[in-house]
Amino acid sequence: MLIAASLMATLHHLSAFVLTACLIYEFIAYHKGMSVVEARRIQQVDLWYGISAGLLVVAGLLRVFLFEKGATFYSHNLLFWIKMALFVVVGLLSVYPTIRYIKWNATLGKGMAPEIPEQEFKTTRLLLTLEVVGLALILFAAPAMARAVWMLS
């Protein structure tokens, strides 16, 4: 059981690191006037962002219910619920950029770089910024949560 718990923790952490790297890449790489190669790379990175988020959820839930301190510990931990809410918010914030990236397929399929209207650019840039802030808050909450900070009665 200890080996399984360790492997699940490793999967959870690796997923979190990949998710973080993907989001930071998107935040840095997203700009107006991207080339076809840059746009396709953002699409690929966004796909890995989604895959890593899915793995993170699965590994996290398995840790809560099977491998760590147990569901009772987490359900009575205010930071756990804050972290879960932030994860949902970051996930919802990521929907618009992902849809925008997918809509580039028609243009990219013709070998042309996407033309990003100013309002779409500003909205996507704002959402990516909010995702990064949300992720930073999650990364701040996680170790405090694990140390039973703000336990509820």
- Mean pLDDT (the chain) is 94
- Block residue for tokens 């219910």: 65
pLDDT surpassing 80 at residue 1: no
Mean pLDDT, range 99-122, rounded to an integer: 97
Please report the pLDDT score of residue 153 as a whole number: 65
Burial (CB count within 10 angstroms: exposed 0-12, middle 13-18, buried 19+), residue 58: middle
Please state the φ and ψ torsions of residue 151, each to the nearest 5 degrees: -70, 140
Do the Cβ atoms of 41 and 29 come closer than 8 Å? yes
pLDDT band of 145, cuts 50, 70, 90: confident
